[in-house]
């Protein structure tokens, strides 16, 4: 407190300081951050970030760099290079496009929701020729395309017309965070193989990674794009491109301007654990810790992480079904393990309901994005969460919905019944992992 006036005089207005302090001043208990990313950061990861800053050209850093580069390969399930950028997911989208494409190149982009639409907007701004594929029709003002995953027949229809192979890439979003739909990416690979089409397969798994099963190598993905603030349980600020050898080869002749994002220099320096620029040291400490947590064989490793998310999602859906409200994802085969979108009657402003839940019960839910503004809210069930956190969230939702005049009941009970009758499977213990080399 004594230092406050000095800090105020030097740098920040008193109003700003008060606002910042208020951010960490919830009346009591923990804030429920139940948006589909950024997700809550576990204390173990926050503690790892409090290590001192080190020389990013020094020997300790090289060891840290090599460790996180190896760990993140395991998360993507790849043996090929993974770029780590000090940027949000949007930066990694751009990196993916500019490294493999040339001005005027054609790409197929499938619109499953708001994030797919934003990626498309970026591609057009970069001078790429885009063909947008999407499912037609709508019901109650909500596009069908935003309630389903990618429809393989629609992609097939376009690719079959492309006998000259002018389409250079097919871009799809694995887990569409705006809708709660997880598309079948393997089916897109199978289609490209069946048609012997040489287009690269580029996949946004920004919110899918470390929540939903994802196998970069086995699924034949050429560029996978991800971010830190979702399943990896890190703060926002780093993002990823996992590559294939084919994508690396293509990048050698790609002509879109690039410098900061260029893979070639990063790949070279990463061989010794360094980067061509100053990397985000503290987020790399955090990444190291997150990978230790996610990959820990004593907790069942990645498979247990996927099973956990699937179970959380089923518990939350049990509540939404009991409330009698439609789930945004209309196809149960592609329900997202990361989040559940809840559609409200068109007479109700979903953001007003979110506001009640935030103000009365200290719980943040995801807003409806783009075409879904005001029609739905999103419950995040990813990362560092558990049954009781989700029960608290669902209780907040049920109380908030009732306060907003929507007659719902039984959701909390349905979720309790689900969680209590479906215990977490106990992982089979595996041998101790190698000691941390840092
Ligand atoms: N793609 C998806 C699927 C996302 O969920 C997000 C962010 O939530 C983005 C892209 C954009 O990432 P960022 O906001 O980190 O730039």
pLDDT digits (tens, 9 = 90+) for 397-419: 999 999 999 999 999 999 999 99
Q: What is the 8-class DSSP label of residue 384? A: S
pLDDT the model gives residue 424: 85
For every residue of 229-270, DSSP letters joined together read: SSTT-PPS--EEEEE-HHHHHHHTT--S--STT-HHHHHHHH
**Ligand 1 probe mutation, 39, 84, 90, 380, most atoms within 8 A of CB:** 90
pLDDT of 8 strictly over 70: no
pLDDT of 1 strictly over 50: no
Nearest CA to ligand 1 atom 12: 89
Can you tell me the distance from the alpha carbon of 68 to that of 295, in angstroms, rounded to the nearest whole number?
12
Find the 414 Cα to ligand 1 centroid distance in Å: 31
The neighbouring-strand residues paired with 226 are: 240
pLDDT the model gives residue 27: 72
Mean pLDDT for the stretch of residues 239-268? 98
Find the 57 Cα to ligand 1 centroid distance in Å: 30
pLDDT, tens digit, 9 for 90 and up, residues 162-213: 999 999 999 999 999 999 999 999 999 999 999 999 999 999 999 999 999 9
pLDDT of 157 strictly over 90: yes
pLDDT of 255 strictly over 50: yes
Nearest-atom number in ligand 1 for the CA of 174 is 3
| Within this chain, domains 32-40+299-421 and 49-295 share the same CATH topology | no
Pick the CATH number of 49-295 from 1.20.140.10, 3.40.50.2300, 3.40.1710.10, 3.40.640.10: 3.40.640.10
pLDDT the model gives residue 3: 34
pLDDT of 25 strictly over 60: no
Element (H, E) at 181: strand 181-182
Find the 261 Cα to ligand 1 centroid distance in Å: 17
pLDDT the model gives residue 374: 96
Q: For residue 125, what are the contacts with CB-CB under 8 A and spacing of at least 6?
A: none
pLDDT, tens digit, 9 for 90 and up, residues 82-106: 999 999 999 999 999 999 999 999 9
Can you tell me the distance from the alpha carbon of 139 to that of 29, in angstroms, rounded to the nearest whole number?
41
Mean pLDDT for the stretch of residues 122-148? 96
**Ligand 1 probe mutation, 39, 89, 173, most atoms within 8 A of CB:** 89
Distance in angstroms between the alpha carbons of the first and the last residue of the chain: 36
For every residue of 85-134, DSSP letters joined together read: ESS-HHHHHHHHHHHH--TT-EEEEE--SHHHHHHHHHHHHTT-EEEEE-
Q: Which residues line ligand 1 (CB under 6 A)?
A: 37, 88-90, 115, 173, 177, 204, 206-207, 227, 236
Mean pLDDT for the stretch of residues 120-131? 98
Nearest-atom number in ligand 1 for the CA of 90 is 16
Nearest CA to ligand 1 atom 13: 89
**Ligand 1 probe mutation, 174, 181, 206, most atoms within 8 A of CB:** 206
Can you tell me the distance from the alpha carbon of 341 to that of 162, in angstroms, rounded to the nearest whole number?
36
Nearest-atom number in ligand 1 for the CA of 177 is 5
Find the 316 Cα to ligand 1 centroid distance in Å: 23
Mean pLDDT for the stretch of residues 365-386? 97
pLDDT the model gives residue 4: 32
pLDDT of 11 strictly over 60: no
Mean pLDDT of the chain: 93
**Ligand 1 probe mutation, 109, 207, 230, 338, most atoms within 8 A of CB:** 207
Chain length of the chain: 438
Nearest-atom number in ligand 1 for the CA of 178 is 5
Nearest-atom number in ligand 1 for the CA of 205 is 3
Nearest-atom number in ligand 1 for the CA of 236 is 15
For every residue of 10-49, DSSP letters joined together read: HT--HHHHHHHHHHT--SSS--EEESSSSPPPPHHHHHHT
For the chain, domain boundaries:
32-40+299-421, 49-295
pLDDT the model gives residue 26: 65
pLDDT the model gives residue 425: 74
Q: What is the largest CA-CA distance in the chain?
A: 72
pLDDT, tens digit, 9 for 90 and up, residues 328-373: 999 999 999 999 999 999 999 999 999 999 999 999 999 999 999 9
Q: Taking the model in full, what pTM does it have?
A: 0.93
Ranking 19-33, 119-133, 187-201 by mean pLDDT, the lowest is 19-33
pLDDT the model gives residue 20: 57
Find the 58 Cα to ligand 1 centroid distance in Å: 33
Q: CA 226 → CA 175, 209, 418, distances in Å?
A: 11, 7, 31
Pick the CATH number of 32-40+299-421 from 3.20.20.70, 3.40.50.720, 3.90.1150.10, 2.40.160.40: 3.90.1150.10
Pairing of strands 82-85, 239-243: antiparallel
């Amino acid at each position: 407190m004594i230092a406050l006036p000095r800090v105020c005089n030097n740098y920040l207005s008193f109003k700003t300081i008060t606002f910042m302090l208020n951010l960490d001043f919830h009346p009591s208990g923990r804030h429920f951050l139940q948006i589909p990313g950024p997700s809550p950061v576990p204390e173990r990861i926050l503690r790892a970030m409090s290590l001192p800053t080190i020389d990013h050209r020094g020997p300790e850093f090289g060891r840290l760099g090599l460790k996180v580069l190896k760990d993140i390969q395991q998360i993507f399930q790849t043996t090929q290079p993974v770029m780590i950028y000090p940027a949000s997911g949007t930066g990694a989208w751009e990196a993916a496009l500019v490294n493999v494409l040339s001005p005027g190149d054609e790409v197929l982009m499938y619109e499953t929701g708001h994030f797919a639409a934003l990626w498309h907007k970026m591609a057009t701004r970069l001078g790429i020729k885009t063909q947008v594929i999407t499912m037609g029709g709508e019901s109650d003002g909500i596009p069908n395309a935003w309630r389903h995953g990618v429809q393989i027949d629609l992609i097939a229809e376009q690719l079959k017309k492309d006998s000259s192979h002018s389409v250079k890439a097919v871009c799809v979003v694995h887990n569409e965070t705006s809708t709660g739909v997880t598309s079948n990416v393997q089916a897109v690979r199978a289609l490209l193989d069946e048609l012997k089409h040489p287009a690269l397969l580029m996949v946004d798994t920004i919110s899918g990674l470390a929540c939903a099963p994802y196998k970069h190598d086995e699924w034949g993905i050429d560029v996978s794009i991800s971010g830190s603030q979702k399943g990896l349980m890190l703060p926002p600020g780093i993002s990823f491109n996992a590559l294939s050898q084919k994508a690396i080869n293509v990048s050698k002749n790609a002509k879109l301007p690039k410098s900061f994002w260029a893979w070639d220099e990063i790949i070279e320096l990463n061989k010794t654990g360094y980067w061509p620029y100053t990397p985000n040291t503290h987020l790399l400490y955090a990444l190291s810790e997150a990978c230790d947590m996610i990959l820990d064989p004593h907790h069942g490793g990645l498979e247990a992480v996927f099973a956990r998310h699937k179970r959380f999602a089923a518990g939350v859906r049990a509540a939404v079904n009991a409330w009698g409200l439609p789930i945004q994802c209309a196809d149960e085969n592609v329900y997202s393990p990361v989040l559940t979108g809840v559609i409200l009657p068109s007479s109700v402003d979903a953001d007003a309901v979110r506001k009640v839940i935030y103000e009365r019960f200290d719980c943040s839910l995801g807003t409806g994005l783009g075409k879904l503004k005001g029609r739905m809210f999103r419950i995040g069930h990813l990362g560092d969460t558990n049954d009781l956190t989700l029960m608290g969230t669902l209780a907040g939702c049920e109380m908030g919905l009732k306060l907003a005049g929507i007659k719902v009941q039984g959701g909390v009970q349905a979720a309790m019944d689900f969680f209590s009758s479906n215990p977490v499977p106990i992982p089979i213990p595996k041998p101790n992992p190698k000691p941390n080399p840092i």
